[in-house]
Amino acid sequence: MNPWLVILVAGIGSYAMRICMTLTDRLILPPRLEACAEMVAPAAFAALAAASLTVLVVSAPGLSAATPVVLAVVAAVAGTAGTGKPYVAMLAGMPTYWLADALM
């Protein structure tokens, strides 16, 4: 199949997933699903972050290469927990990674 067409079909399918629950005004979610919906964002982002970080750590050529990634995550968690500001995770994590990577 033509790659343009493949991407177009994949895009239409993705759009259907985006729109499916919002198309009708008559759709009332069951309370159980509503309760779960409030946790979707934290759960989804935790899963995405965990998967990305696990790949980075596992694919590192050795302990000295994986340690800076772990330290960066620790700094990101500590920075965000201490300030309550989500963007501090990047401001604390990236320099920690660069510093640890340079030292190891």
Partner 1 sequence: MRLQQGRDVAAGMRSMLPWLVAVAPFGLIIGVTAGQASLPSAVGWFTGPAIYGGSAQIAAIQLLDSGAAAATVIATVLVINLRLVLYSAALARYWRGTPLWWRLLAAYLLIDPSFVVGIRRYEHHRWVLAAARQGGQRLTPDGGLGDLRSSHAFYSGAAVLLWVGWLTALGVGAVVGASVPEGLRLELLMPLYLVGQVVPSLRQRATRRAVVVSSVVAGACIAAPLNLGIVVGITAGLAAGYLTSLKDRPGPTATPAPSTQEHPL
Question: Interface residues with partner 1 (CB under 8 A)?
Answer: 1, 3-11, 13-15, 17-23, 25, 27, 29, 32-56, 58, 69, 72-73, 76-77, 79-81, 84-90, 93-94, 97-98, 101
Residues 6+ apart with CB under 8 A from 79: 88, 89, 91, 92, 93
Gyration radius of the chain's alpha carbons = 20
Q: What are phi and psi of 6, to 5 degrees?
A: -60, -45
Minimum CB separation from partner 1 for residue 47, in Å?
Answer: 4
Minimum CB separation from partner 1 for residue 25, in Å?
Answer: 5
